[in-house]
Structure 1
């Protein structure tokens, strides 16, 4: 099978690309605009594989989408390209409307035209898999409430509203035009190659730099945390075995308050790379090597935690009921939050060069040349 993956240079998209190339015989065409969140360094391990190709294309560019469909002839689409940071959507919603709504519409129309041109066997096998978020459901009220595939939509931010809109478009194109679509809504992802503006990598890298660890409000917001490689397995399971027209919620079964997530990161760093100087004593002195066992910690990273004003419209609790994908497709997460978080912290400690390229912006300055070298045909 040849799969066209939009947003394949992003955090979740790159995990999906790496998973498919490493664990299947399928071919992958990675279509990415390479905005600030697209990083081809996250795909270096697959860049030379003959089953991988890259196309630097904006999903709002219909002519380029038509060219990609014509040249690559994909059997399925996994649509992950999206603006995804809530804080950025509050400061500048226009890009979210353009990419997440107009871009999804443009991709749907290009896919529909391509699908109509396939023979009967190709039409029957084709899939359009739209990857969305649990944030479209809004906020949960009671402690026992949980998001199911039939939960009513009530988005709270420009980001979640734009994703809710794209979900509705995908369902409409299935019902009106018969396009064979699937939708998945996932909980908070974490893991390797996560852009440092998000909570877990931000806390790790701020802590290592001796900077404050900002927590919105009391830090009592609850999220269901999903290790990104578990999510990649689930997405591949859906695109290959899911029922057309269905929606599948994907969660990690790991509800944690944000403050507890930050404290857990600090405890892991205390163990793996302990501080040798107290906070406020200038640059932090840290052990430059990763420890594999417990050490006596002179000072804790927890002292860097600070509470800041909460953001507008901040949902308090998300929780996913992932029983449908477990019962129908046999998927369950392999990682607990504890095992996944340890793997994540260790990965960042061992890949500080990747992090520095993101932080200083050099990954963007080099991306055009890298993209041109990586544009291949399969």
Structure 2
């Protein structure tokens, strides 16, 4: 049985990845600090599962990481651990540097030292996969897409911290020979996403009868990627990707923010109509734009498709319907994460 050390595996993307990996017979050692967006309830299906070992801890705790590597001898480390919300990085950038830069450096050092001690096939087959974002590339105009050769031009404290971590991963490969892989993905959506992000936030506020805030003119464009498709892409890169390479992961689903919100409203109107019969689009309101708000992201994932044969299996219409249905069916999960530290309010409004 393969063993993977997955960091940040109680978060949104990491949690979905862990659930899928264990279901496929992979043993996962799951290291998560359980900050506000980490949620053990996401992993409830794995309670008492012999293929899942949960460890509450920080990637910056180098002795802990070293002990896990020694005790469990994973054949791969998959790093999801990160502070990930742009608005929060505006309010408090230091936490993003601490986790995404300093924490990633500590994880890399522990992993490098462990890998150096491996022999034969274990050393040859070992991989360190770093999960990153398309936001490191900055903002696009009306045309074009990000490729793996796009220059880094981060515009928020979050994307700057992820850019730094990407550079560290690259450096550990070229300096020390560590067998690394990096993925840069577009905006994810799907089950178990913390409700500060656009799609789950709109669902939660719409159901509560609250205003649906749209930043600026609502025409900022994102390339939306269903989280399950992201997980299959990571698996493909981990199993068949070329060491030292970066692979962009996108959903081929460019959408303006206002169109995303209107699609959610239409689905909720059909599935859970308002008592007064009005459309939830009447709850849409425009608010001051996010400071430094990137205008457009779009991913060219042709390298991943060409080299590894990956394709997204969900278009946006399918993915958003499945996502709305999941949140309607799992309101107890949503209420469980809406504690006193976050109540659907706006954050990151002031530069």
TM-score when normalising by structure 1: 0.89
Alignment of 1:268-283 (within 5 A): 268-277=267-276
Corresponding position of 2:316 = 337
| Farther off after superposition, 105-114 or 232-241 | 232-241
Shift of 1:120: 2.1
Partner residue of 1:303 out of 265, 273, 282: 282
| Farther off after superposition, 242-251 or 44-53 | 44-53
Between Structure 1 and Structure 2, whose CA radius of gyration is higher? 1
Secondary structure of the corresponding residue to residue 219 of structure 2: coil
Secondary structure of the corresponding residue to residue 215 of structure 1: strand
Shift of 1:83: 0.2
Q: Any gaps of 5 or more consecutive residues in structure 2? A: 342-351
Quote the Cα distance in structure 2 between the aligned partners of 1:46 and 1:231. Answer: 21
Quote the Cα distance in structure 2 between the aligned partners of 1:300 and 1:214. Answer: 16
Quote the Cα distance in structure 1 between the aligned partners of 2:151 and 2:304. Answer: 19
| Farther off after superposition, 113-122 or 95-104 | 113-122
Quote the Cα distance in structure 2 between the aligned partners of 1:313 and 1:120. Answer: 49
Corresponding position of 1:256 = 255
Q: Deviations over 1:194-226 (max 9, x none)?
A: 100000000001000000000100111000000
Alignment of 1:48-63 (within 5 A): 48-63=48-63
Corresponding position of 1:211 = 210
Corresponding position of 1:359 = 338
Corresponding position of 2:70 = 70
Q: Any gaps of 5 or more consecutive residues in structure 1? A: 278-297, 363-378
Shift of 1:237: 1.2
Aligned residue pairs total: 341
Quote the Cα distance in structure 2 between the aligned partners of 1:48 and 1:219. Answer: 45
Quote the Cα distance in structure 2 between the aligned partners of 1:38 and 1:17. Answer: 13
Corresponding position of 1:324 = 303
8 Å contact from structure 1 (residues 19, 233) kept in 2: no
Q: Deviations over 1:113-156 (max 9, x none)?
A: 00011112211010000000000000002x22100001000000
Quote the Cα distance in structure 2 between the aligned partners of 1:35 and 1:60. Answer: 14
Quote the Cα distance in structure 2 between the aligned partners of 1:315 and 1:107. Answer: 30
Q: Deviations over 1:235-256 (max 9, x none)?
A: 1111111110111000000000
Q: Deviations over 1:306-328 (max 9, x none)?
A: 11100111000000001111111
Which 4+ residue blocks in structure 1 deviate beyond 6 angstroms?
none
Shift of 1:354: 0.5
Corresponding position of 1:39 = 39
